[in-house]
Amino acid sequence: MICFGEHLPSSVEIRWPLFFFFLLSVVFAADGSGDDPRRVESSKEVSVETYDKYYNYGELTERLQSLAQKYPHIANLSSIGRSVEGRELWVMRITTDPGTDTPGKPKFKYVGNMHGDETVSRQVLVYLVEYLLAKYGEDQRITELVNSTDIYIMPSMNPDGFEKSTEGDCGGNSGGRNNAKNMDLNRSFPDQFDGTTADSTKIPEVMAVIRWIQEKKFVLSGNLHGGTVVASYPLDDSAYHRQEGYYSRSEDDNLFRYLARVYSSNHPVMKTGMPSCPNSEETFQDGITNGAEWYDVPGGMQDYNYIYGNCLEITMELSCCKYPHASQLSTEWDLNRESLIAYMEKVHIGVRGYVKDAISGAALSNANIVVASNRHNLLTGKFGDYYRLLLPGTYNVTAVATGYTSVTVNGVQVTDGKATELNFTLSPVVPEATVGVPVTTTSASSTSHPNTPSTSSSHSSQTLVIPSDGKKNNPTVPPPAQQPQEFRHHNYFDMDMFLRKYSSEFPSITKLHSIGQSVESRELYVMIISDNPDVHEHGEPEFKYVANMHGNEVVGRELLLNLIEYLCRNYGTNPEVTWLVNNTRIHLMPSLNPDGYEQAIEGDKNGLKGRNNSNNFDLNRNFPDQFTNITEPRQPETVAVMNWLKSTPFVLSANLHGGSLVVNYPFDDSKNGTVHYSTSPDDAVFQQVSRAYSKENPLMHQGHPCEDVYPEEYFKDGIINGAQWYSVSGGMQDWNYLNTNCFEVTIELGCDKYPLAKDLPKYWEQNQRALLQFIHQVHTGVKGTVSDSRDGTGIPNATISVEGINHSVTTAHSGDYWRLLIPGTYSITASALGYEPVMTYATVSKDRAEVVDFRLTRLHSESSDQSPSGPQPTLDQSERELQSLIKELSFDQGLEQLVRMTATESKIHYRDSKDLSSYLRALTLNFPKIAILHSLGQSVEFRTIWALEISNKPEAEPSEPKIRFVAGIHGNAPVGTALLLEFAEFLCFNYGKNPAITKLINETRIFIVPSINPDGREHAVKRQCTSKQGLTNSNGKDLDTDFFGNASQRVVEPQPETRAMMDFIINTHFTLSVALDGGSLVATYPYDKPVQTVENEGTLKYLASVYANNHPKMHFGDTGCSNNGQSSVPDGVMRAAERQSHMGSMKDFSMDFGHCPEITVYTGCCLFPPPEQLPTLWAENKKPLLSMLVEAHKGVRGVVRDRSGKPIVGAVIVLNGGVRVFTVEGGYFHALLAPGGHNIEAVADGYQQQRQKVVVSSYEAANSIIIVLGMDNNIFGLPREFVVAGAAASMTALVVTACITWCVCASKSNRQKDGFHRLRQHRDDYDDEIRLTSIGSKKSLLAHEFQDESESDEETLYANKI
């Protein structure tokens, strides 16, 4: 054996151990897995289980990873998402070949530690994982269970709560029950009675589990808790929500009782029914209880599994003490081991099998499996497989799939033990003219095994549309659909009563609401029909029908009332109706023009009376148009619909009209307004959905409508492109398509606009199947979720684009989307601001939507000179809470919910100068902790100009954003003053009461200047919409033309009001300013002065659009102001100079000298509206004002330091090479930026420049960055080393020259010293010149860096002052 180091010099021998140590260190360092917790680390020996300690998150992770690596053939560890604090939600999958899905294995799951302080379940499930893995191949029972079952075990659903909990805390007093957002996860699931009440951004754990449940289609599940010893089964709550004592029975009540007994009967303590918990005398017969009878739990996970997830789940309470000492864990494992295994085995009872296409043999996923007399259906999985748990008995089972003939098998025998095999083959539906759902029934013949009935072709089958007569040997079919009984014309009051009647009679599937009012104040009713009608359910598409847009076209109005009756009365009995209602949120609006209807006349075939609304405007010519400028004022009915569509993620829609018989699809008009085919990007999709309707109408698809009136008119297949028929500008269907995610067509239902009542039944008969078939079209194309790969949360407003189709859709609030497509293979890309886009391919089939989910990775800020390992900002708890709040309020309904939660009685009114001062003092006296009053100066007539500061901090923090709200610069427009005073009161009154308002005030310095021009206000004329009296101050000066920062541009001294505001703007370093004015309905952004280009215009326009988009009217762009000559402004936003160009504006001064963006909002056409209009104006502006508070926290913020950590004050932050902001005390800066990628550059005298890229999101708080500047080593623009070397060489040459000169001169006269003195003097002068040149060069370099040749004189002067 050769020994390394032998015969080597001693010095080398000593270094060998060091070498090996170094090599070992390198190997271990190279093998590190980084910070990714999802990575399964290198093999570690699994330590022996001691059953006497709890595993914290790190220990749990390490143990599960070690087990997964030790047993890779049957174990696979993955995370389904992350907790609030970023911990993985680990799931161990145990089955053969765990990396793939194979048919024939029912999926089972256990979930533990849902309440973080109920910890026994967490450990017991780890022990179960270890037991199953260790016993596989040794124990026959365990081996068979693992071979035949797809088992998923999640030890901890709430890892954050566990980390907060305290061992030995039996009562749960340590605060670890809820998640890190203080949300009870077992009260945060969608509820069958109340809908979703929890904010999805606060419950990432619940959202992850919901996605998991929907994806996996589990069959059986157990949810493990602590606090007593009992097995609780559904339902967990009821519509009555009685606190306790109400037995809420599910459709599978007997089955649930059986399953609960399986667990309890195998648990030595639970089966006694006497937990004997301290301070409790509770007992449970057989150790089980109905959840709601025990106590009401809305939003629970077990009911969600049953109602929405295909899965039967019960809840097991394992111990009286929630977090017992670790010494008890061994006992708890012994008590629960047999129960856990026995319960898992019950996933194999009942009926199981496959549903396939009879022609192709392809698996039919999402087919319904219906058991007669049981209204709880389940869906087949992706292999067409199903597992229907049933107790022993005889059952009639039906398989139902859209587009296929249903099949029923009678007399299915279920025995005690393994599940009965029952396979279905379904044939595609052959269209029939009969009304009803064709159902093929098959009886099990004697040739089949009694336990495995089949549907082979040897069995006789028939298509039935009549009910069974009830005789034993007759086939069982679902009862025929109940047809509407009310065929009459409903006037407004009759319709109102009808809608309220059905809403009251069917509260579990209906919700009646109004989206607005007509001109004559009639409600614009919408009936929502769905299994959860109150809220948008993640993954469920939104569909709508709108009728009676033209008041005299009434057939659609009556058909939608018929449809409401049909859906309500057949839900739960008719498979098709039940499926549609369970899987679609259906919105039905019977009348968009109730005023016009009241004017119309029965029997009118093709007249015009009642067509328009009460203002005599055609509502289907009143929407914004892509080709034509619609100058008519936007009508209240139109505005209501536009707001409705903006608030709901509709996917598909139809607008029901009359006067012909055809489906008309976009585009409805063309660029030049001529009659020709106007193709939309989704022309093929529109043709497909249009044919889906027309082919189900026995007359429409023939293409020859109204032959007695229009004998030459022909529509192939009963469909037509709108513009090819006739051009319609301002139509609703095109606006839907171009401005929302919704695809809409217009359906003409008959030649007579207002037929006689006796003819209404035939219209229902002709359109019933078509109405239902069109709803089915919403379930085609692709659908899915776009989520953040880091935490699994859905990404709202992400873009879904399809290659080759120039029309994108966006995701809804929780990241879900639907994209209608015709069959084919597509390249689909998901993208979102701040994320890397992801592309994939998807193949779309005909009759169902393909699920395509996207997980996007965040873009990270990139620095040119700073490595990712450099200093990174750390967030404390308060900052994390603020980030979460900003994200919550930035989502679609976040601010809307805040407005509703803080609704109070408004007493807004006008106040003169004296009342204003008293009012502001009253606020400071009543809210001294947050309200401070500052005097900025006085007006010409010596009235005080007040600024109210609202903040909870007595001293300014440089890192906090400062926002300025100002009003009253024109005294004749006092609306802004009234709004800001109401806003101040609103903030003060909600501080300490509403968490969101409290947090915003705590983290923001808010300054409100309600009246800049109090003198003008005193001279204004009340109730005058156009009067200019009071516009100027007492010197007759329009203050908004008096803001000049450069003395060379000012002819006279500024007005005192102007001087006060200029000092205020310069000295306070604001982040954002919002000025309120009147006389129009628009938001403007800088500049007021005429400039050719505006730096950072994208950001300025974005800020103005945030205000406009949160205003219920402004974003439509219809000013409605006849007094100013402006009728339409795109999106309600414009550059200020385009409205009225002038010099010396406050907005421009704020930009140029305050380095703060300011937008001016004109709140209404009337300058001084009547006081009774103020509550409406406050309601319109409350949400936009709040949105500005939220927006002040976005963009990019950070600190600039040198390499020693010292902050650099006065550093220049250049945004996208143009706009500049400056660091303040502490080196802090904050700049608002539009969503997207931006380049920022930090420059400071004496330091190297630093460039960095940042990504700004529209719904997240400001990116926080640290910029470290190194000293500038350049001299005269050259490297310091080069200059030093050159100087040294020069000095050497100079010394040599001096020596030579001295030697020469020494031989001459005795004037040597004087000569040397002169030489030294000249050199000193030369050095002085070098220093002066250096200073001058640096100044010129800095000036050159920021000097823009297009700058005004005042900008140039200010830049040179840097």
Of 91, 74, 94, 70, residue with least CA distance to 82: 91
User: How far is Cα 1355 from Cα 1347, in angstroms, rounded to an integer?
Assistant: 9
Pick from 748, 664, 754, 757: nearest CA to 706: 748
Q: Are 718 and 663 in contact (CB under 8 A)?
A: yes
CB hemisphere CA count around 858 (13 angstroms): 17
Q: Are strands 660-665 and 719-721 parallel, antiparallel or unpaired?
A: parallel
Beta-strand pair 781-788/849-851: parallel
How many angstroms separate the first and last alpha carbons of the chain?
A: 76
Contact between 80 and 208 under an 8 Å Cβ cutoff? The reply is yes
Asked whether 246 and 238 are in contact (CB, 8 A), the reply is yes
Count CA atoms closer than 13 A to 51's CA, side-chain side.
Answer: 13
Helix axes 894-901, 995-1002, angle to 10 degrees: 110
Q: Which two tokens stand for residue 1196?
A: 């990019």
Check the CA dihedral 781-785-786-790 and report its sign: negative
Q: Indicate the residue type of 1205.
A: G
Any bridge partners for residue 356, and if so which? Answer: 363, 425
Tokens of 728: 């319609």
Burial class (CB in 10 A: 0-12, 13-18, 19+), 485: exposed
Alpha-helical (H) ranges within 234-274 are: 253-265
Sign of CA pseudo-dihedral 78, 82, 86, 89: negative
Residue 1125, CA distances (Å) to 365, 631, 877, 906, 1038 in order: 60, 12, 52, 33, 21
Q: Report the distance separating Cα 774 and Cα 544, nearest Å.
A: 10
The residues carrying an active-site annotation are 317, 748
Strand partners of residue 800: 809, 830
Q: With contact defined as beta carbons under 8 Å apart, do 968 and 958 qualify?
A: no
CB 981 within 8 A of CB 1175: no
Tokens 């999101």 found at = 1257
Both structure tokens of 738: 């171009």
Output the CA torsion 751→756→758→762 (10° steps).
10
CB 413 within 8 A of CB 445: no
User: Can you give 30-92 as a three-state secondary structure string?
Assistant: HCCCCCCCCCCCCCCCCCCCCCCCCCCHHHHHHHHHHHHHHCCCCEEEEEEEECCCCCEEEEE
Upstream peptide bond of 256 is cis (omega within 30 degrees of 0): no
Residue 1361: both structure tokens together? 């002052």
Give, in order, the Cα–Cα distances in Å from 932 to each of 950, 960, 965, 996. 7, 17, 15, 21
312, 305 Cβ separation under 8 angstroms: yes
